[in-house]
Amino acid sequence: MGPPVCGFHTGGKAMTTGSRRAIFAGAARIAAGAATATGLFTLAACGGDSGGGSGPIKLKQAVSLQYWSILGGADGTRMRDMTAQYTKEQPMVKIEDVQGVDNFLVKFVASVVAGSPPDIVWIRQTYIAGFVEKDALLPLLPKELDQVGLKAEEFDQVVWKASEYKGKRYTVPMDIHGYQFFYHEAMVRDGGLDPAKVPTTWAEWLDWATRLTKDDKRGATVPYSGAGINWFFHGFLKQAAKANVGGASTADFFTADGKKANFNNPAGVEALQIMADIFKRCNLPFPDGVASLDLFEQKKLGSMINGPWNLNRLADPKGPAAAELRVAFSPQRDPKNPSWWAQSHQVALAKPTKVDEDKRTGSFDFIKWLNDHILDWSKAGQLPANKKVLASDAYQKSDLLVHKHLKVWEKNLASAAFMPLHPKHVEVENDLPPILEKAIRGQISVQAALAEGETLVNNILSK
């Protein structure tokens, strides 16, 4: 996602060279070579009736599975620990656990076409459409999900519906994360502001940011490189759309039919302008090698709109900022029509050349276990998608700071705005940020950046 100075989540190792479009092209060449060598020019359909009507119910024999994820760092370590716990409790399943797969997108697509994919993958919700169009994921039928105890009604319905693609389900949502408002209470107080009067609008946040910026202290930050720009821009774009700025109530990355860009409009102008304003008012960028979380812990960054994965560090009771960390609902363009950028980690079954029912059964057993134990995953700063876990005493009465802060995300689930599922999303996520970055840094006007970005995205969508 670009340099670490912005401190925004990557979910694994960032791609630092080349566009994802070029990477996917490379994946196609690698996969084509593998397919030629093995005779695998097409992928088999999903197991016919054996994969749907009866569904996996009970393990009959020992199986070995391969599990890939995009999770790196502390997230990858926590997930690896959870996998080890599962195999300890379920000795009939062995799992080759590969967390933080480098260049996940290219390697996964190539493995599927070559006929040697992992059995289970942990991905972002935004990857679903692209992988489905590349015939890389097995569909999950409602009946078999019910039979293994993964019932639709047990999940938050906003994320459940947001992760369906063309009316079908290919993944099981594990968590929900997105952007809310973090602020350092002591720095706010020392800066002459009242920490109890949290900004509720963009204008109020900009005022806070301006008044708290002095000498080596910055009142706020926004992402100014990498995919985080897209995430942030999309969140503000949807807020402006809900406020019906300039009549652009349908503004999004794409039009409803997915054929054109839909952000070069009044809503897009306001969304990108607030990012440029924060950048200018807060003396950004940071010095080279300096990250936002470091400054926050040093009482040199007053506020930021960021994700709950940062709670893994900032809400650590032993950390230098835990006692001063406060989290509130993200400032809005129009508080009467709230919205916040949301994303989700999801688990899916990769599509093999031939469905192995024992592996499929074992895979569902593991996914069900992950869903049942998602409270452990929430300690990494991820809100469970499972409503039963959210309602449990273990979560609601938890004394962990992480869980206490996660209540902000939980309370506002109804207004979560997930990014649209589109097969070209990955290419847009890679290629659009450098254009928006120029406007954020004041190198070109907001209007010029949006026009250039619109042309870029329309070209991507036309291919």
pLDDT of 156 higher than 90:
yes
Domain co-membership, 361 together with 292: no
Structural domain boundaries enclosing 313: 178-342+420-462
Run of H or E residues at 23: helix 20-38
The pair phi, psi for residue 404, each rounded to 5°, is -65, -40
Domain co-membership, 187 together with 199: yes
Q: What is the pLDDT of residue 121?
A: 98
CB 60 within 8 A of CB 358: yes
Domain co-membership, 47 together with 114: yes
Mean pLDDT of 316-338: 98
Domain co-membership, 123 together with 192: no
Tell me the pLDDT tens digit for each residue of 361-385: 999 999 999 999 999 999 999 999 9
Domain co-membership, 169 together with 182: no
Domain co-membership, 24 together with 53: yes
3-state secondary structure of 298: coil
Tell me the pLDDT tens digit for each residue of 180-239: 999 999 999 999 999 999 999 999 999 999 999 999 999 999 999 999 999 999 999 999
With a pLDDT cut of 70, the percent of the chain lying above it is 88
Q: What is the pLDDT of residue 22?
A: 53
Run of H or E residues at 450: helix 446-462
Q: What is the pLDDT of residue 30?
A: 45
144 — pLDDT class (breaks 50, 70, 90): confident
The residue among 361, 382, 397 that closes a domain is 397
Domain co-membership, 158 together with 58: yes
Name the nearest CA neighbour of 359 among 23, 86, 118.
118
| Total number of domains constituting the chain | 2
Q: For 188-238, give the DSSP string.
A: HHHTT--TTS---BHHHHHHHHHHH-BTTBBS-----SSTHHHHHHHHHHH
Higher pLDDT, 137 or 43: 137
Angle, CA 281 vertex, CA 227 and CA 9 arms, to 5°: 25
- Does residue 379 belong to any structural domain of this protein? yes
- Does residue 402 belong to any structural domain of this protein? no
Return the structure tokens found at 84.
């080890």
Q: What is the pLDDT of residue 8?
A: 43
Domain co-membership, 246 together with 205: yes
CB 347 within 8 A of CB 122: yes
Tell me the pLDDT tens digit for each residue of 204-217: 999 999 999 999 99
Domain co-membership, 336 together with 248: yes
| Model pTM score | 0.89
- Does residue 414 belong to any structural domain of this protein? no
How far is residue 349's CA from residue 156's CA, in Å, rounded to a whole number? 21
The CATH number assigned to the domain holding 352 equals 3.40.190.10
- C-alpha distances in Å from residue 423, one per residue of 128, 155, 231, 296, 300: 8, 25, 17, 37, 40
